[in-house]
A and B are shown apart, each in its own frame.
Chain A
């Protein structure tokens, strides 16, 4: 049984080894009582220990595994040179799958697996399975060693004069505290502004404006065609973007503006609109809302046209588009920003101004 020291004391002090239990053979190379034998543990010999035929059978089994592994390597190379990525094969349970991947994977995997399985069988069935006992060394140092370390430290501290020279110490600490500052300052240019129009603006200000302005036509995402009001039926949904989105993307080589100015157009019967974010921001029942969820910024376009609810697939925030885009369920705290729209002389839908509140997720300076 284990030694039960009283609580509060640690395993310090050179305790003598516990009295050797009865019947253990000493195997001095393990620095401890040695191997556990039948007297202590019911050691059952394995079949391969007793029966030479069983041992030979295990040997054959392991040899077969290693040989199979080698065969699998050959099959891998054959599969590599003869299959391509368009070929498919039907395997029950797995379905219609790529032939190249399954052939390479199964051969490679089996080759490696059999090496492991063979090694394990070898260890389990052929190597000795008598448990051995080894002592643990005390982890804590002896009191003498503790004292020697303390003395060395004290002496070194004396000789360094760190405690004595007060001004030296304080100015050293000051210098050490300050020297990492350049490294921190260098991080500032992780953001460099390449757009002259955004020069001098803070992140919050940049987040608060999009490309939408008065008169900017609205185009369908994917086809980039302008839209007439009569194109959209009641219950319709159109994912839309500013007309100049592709020029903006080309000029700045990024998709940033898409992530801000993407909108959805929905049409409902004007009588069903209970409230809007501004008077006359709709056009004959067509409403334009931001497509970026105000929770953490996923695009949101699951529009249920009978309930007028807009659902975000990421965290299930739900907005009522017939009621100023107010939040009716889920973790979003703010309503979906609405874009005021109208029609230009040619009869196409255009924006009437930029959004009147920042689109996308909240931030500190949002107000």
Chain B
């Protein structure tokens, strides 16, 4: 044993006598994790969060969350002598007068953007593969909570430099709070210590950004990861993979190396990106003051959908009995996001209720095998993307020479019409893909080779599916569900069913999900199909001999009719050929 190994062993022993850690190590160092690139998306989130934390600590050494006005005397010439808040001045100091400060600031911002983007991609991966089903519903709800926290962390974070762009965003946020009925003005005054911009709000959102929100995120992420560890990760269907096992690689050494290596790769890409591509040049926008604004005022991308919703909303407001309800603000900024996040959080329970499925699921579903769920997901993406487009509508207008008014109207109508259209199209595509899979399972895949049988029939030769692919396609059997039966108004004794209304709703929902389900083949049918394919292969087998040779000897008769004694089938001809000498090569 080398000295490091001896030292390592001694440390392990030391800890074990106090923590009992060797037992845990023994069990978990061999823990198997399934391997798929889409499972790395959660790792991107975790690692970019770690980068955000590390770079954030560096930034807190220099940033001052104060709205006291100072005169800038740093090295950025176009702002020399300009009056600005300490928050803005300290951000400029980090960017120009602390070596590496701009790099760390950009790394922090890029890592934050990547953090939220990876959350979105990861959430969609989990959604489209049905990984949120039992027993992972709780983890899904925690995930939705993490999404909201991530949005809050980002919003408070990019508002800290107190530049014209982000300050305008805060002004908008305040306008939204103020519009809340009954308590809005009080809530806004409490949050901002009076009117906007006040002097206290920067230190308040600073506290939220570096203490409250990261604390909550860390706590929830810990629970999130512990659940993944304890419940074991899901896996895609495939050969050897069942609902009762995990197939992959052990934690030590493979996963340690891959996950550890990926951390450095994520970190490295973020650092490279921050050296090469500028982000959030606050010095261009100038210090914030509530009576100035720039064209092209947008929030960071993950809040862009909210901004878009505010832009396309028609100007509905109700004024009655001396009170105002601003539907034009409440609907896009409070009600619709509230509905969206609530629906997201409750979705696993809704789907389970609709299917009546109480099984544990550790095998992932292929999106095509859950057409309605996939359709809902695509519908959500289309809805979100349209709102995103709305958020940047003035930039779209100048880039593509369009009118912002036309874009706004297109989105107002499109937001209602396009998502259901996307749902219908996606569902139909999924069903079509399922039918194709069914064909493949029963008949193998088309090889493109045409074979003429002795009696004249032309057939296309099918190849048997490789076992690995068959395992994947056959997962449609597991995914298959049928709608729940409609409830009876009364039971056998004529007693009225008290839950009739709810059961009817449930049955309707279940029908919506599974009415059009494609019936998968049974294992017996698959096996029969494979036998048929094997039979075709037999028919074709003799021809394989010809694949190697340069010449094919065909007896020439000078006519169409065979003479007596001549071979009648290809197989017989082959036999005859084998007997005689093959032709000259």
Contact = CB atoms under 8 A, between A and B. Distances in A.
A101 B105 CA distance: 11
Nearest to A206: B195
Nearest to A97: B278
Contacts of B96: 85
Contacts of B199: 253-254
B478 interface: yes
A42 B243 CA distance: 21
A296 B276 contact: no
B268 A134 contact: no
A331 B311 contact: yes
A46 to B, nearest CB: 14
A204 B197 contact: no
Interface in B349-364: 355-360, 362-363
A7 B357 CA distance: 6
Contacts of B99: 80, 83-85, 100, 104
Interface stretch (B212-220, B245-253, B418-426, B548-556): B245-253
A109 B271 contact: yes
Most B Cβ at <10 Å: residue of A33, A134, A202, A239: A134
Most B Cβ at <10 Å: residue of A4, A29, A327, A362: A362
Interface stretch (A120-128, A143-151, A225-233): A120-128
Contacts of A152: none
B313 A203 contact: no
A255 B264 contact: no
B194 interface: yes
Nearest to A98: B102
Given A132-B248, A132-B249, A365 B185 contact: yes
A120 B261 contact: yes
A193 B270 contact: no
Contact of A40 (B240, B360, B477): B240
A257 to B, nearest CB: 8
B261 A116 contact: yes
B135 interface: yes
Contacts of B291: 221, 239, 241, 258-259, 262, 291-292, 299
Interface stretch (B149-157, B168-176, B449-457): B168-176
B525 interface: no
A256 B245 contact: no
Contact of A109 (B261, B272, B357): B272
A367 B324 CA distance: 6
B264 A116 contact: yes
Contacts of A1: 242, 471, 474, 477, 523
B475 to A, nearest CB: 8
A6 B172 CA distance: 54
A106 B276 contact: yes
Contacts of B566: none
Nearest to B185: A203
A191 B184 contact: no
Interface in B335-391: 355-360, 362-363
A364 B189 CA distance: 14
Interface in B262-306: 262-278, 289-297
A164 interface: no
Interface in A108-143: 108-120, 122-124, 127-129, 131-136, 139
Contact of A361 (B179, B245, B267, B278): B179
Interface in B302-339: 307, 310-317, 319, 322-326, 328-329, 332
A207 interface: yes
Interface string B111-141: 0000000000000000000000011000000
A272 B512 CA distance: 59
A116 B466 CA distance: 35
A9 B324 contact: no
A32 interface: yes
A2 B194 contact: no
Nearest to A107: B275
B231 interface: yes
Contacts of B135: 139
Nearest to B255: A123
B163 interface: no
A131 B178 contact: no
Interface string B194-215: 1111110000000000000000
B267 to A, nearest CB: 5
B319 A367 contact: yes
Interface in B85-119: 95-97, 99-100, 102-103, 106-107
A198 B67 CA distance: 22
Contacts of A33: 245
A78 B349 CA distance: 57
A239 B290 CA distance: 13
B184 A42 contact: no
A248 to B, nearest CB: 12
Contacts of A10: 134, 358-360
B265 A120 contact: yes
Given A298-B171, A330-B315, A7 B356 contact: yes
Nearest to B261: A119
Given A3-B244, A11-B360, A297-B171, A123 B275 contact: no
A360 interface: yes
A63 to B, nearest CB: 15
Interface stretch (A273-281, A312-320, A342-350): A312-320
A363 B261 contact: no
A191 B189 contact: yes
A105 B271 contact: yes
Given A4-B477, A30-B30, A133 B240 contact: yes
Interface in B395-411: 404-405, 408
A313 B195 contact: no
A362 B324 contact: yes
A194 B276 CA distance: 47
B260 interface: yes
A32 B30 CA distance: 12
B160 interface: no
A134 B245 contact: yes
Contact of A29 (B30, B176, B242): B30
Contacts of B179: 296, 361-364
A102 interface: yes
A25 interface: no
A40 B198 contact: no
Given A85-B97, A313-B297, A331-B315, A9 B359 contact: yes
Contacts of A11: 243-244, 359-360
B459 to A, nearest CB: 28
Contacts of B69: 253
A354 to B, nearest CB: 16
A130 B263 CA distance: 23
B190 A117 contact: no
B532 to A, nearest CB: 20
Contacts of B289: 255, 258
A115 B194 CA distance: 51
Contact of B292 (A117, A194, A299): A299
Given A102-B276, A331-B313, A133 B293 contact: no
Contacts of B523: 1
10 contacts: A11-B243, A36-B239, A103-B275, A111-B268, A114-B268, A124-B258, A207-B178, A329-B408, A331-B312, A365-B185
Which 4 A/B pairs are nearest by Cβ-Cβ distance? A105-B275, A113-B268, A116-B264, A296-B175
Interface of B: 30-32, 35, 67-69, 75, 95-97, 99-100, 102-103, 106-107, 134-135, 168, 171-172, 174-176, 178-186, 188-199, 231-232, 237, 239-240, 242-250, 253-254, 257-258, 260-278, 289-297, 307, 310-317, 319, 322-326, 328-329, 332, 355-360, 362-363, 393-394, 404-405, 408, 466, 468, 471, 474-475, 477-478, 481, 523
Given A11-B360, A36-B239, A296-B172, 6 more contacts: A117-B261, A117-B264, A131-B247, A204-B185, A207-B178, A296-B179
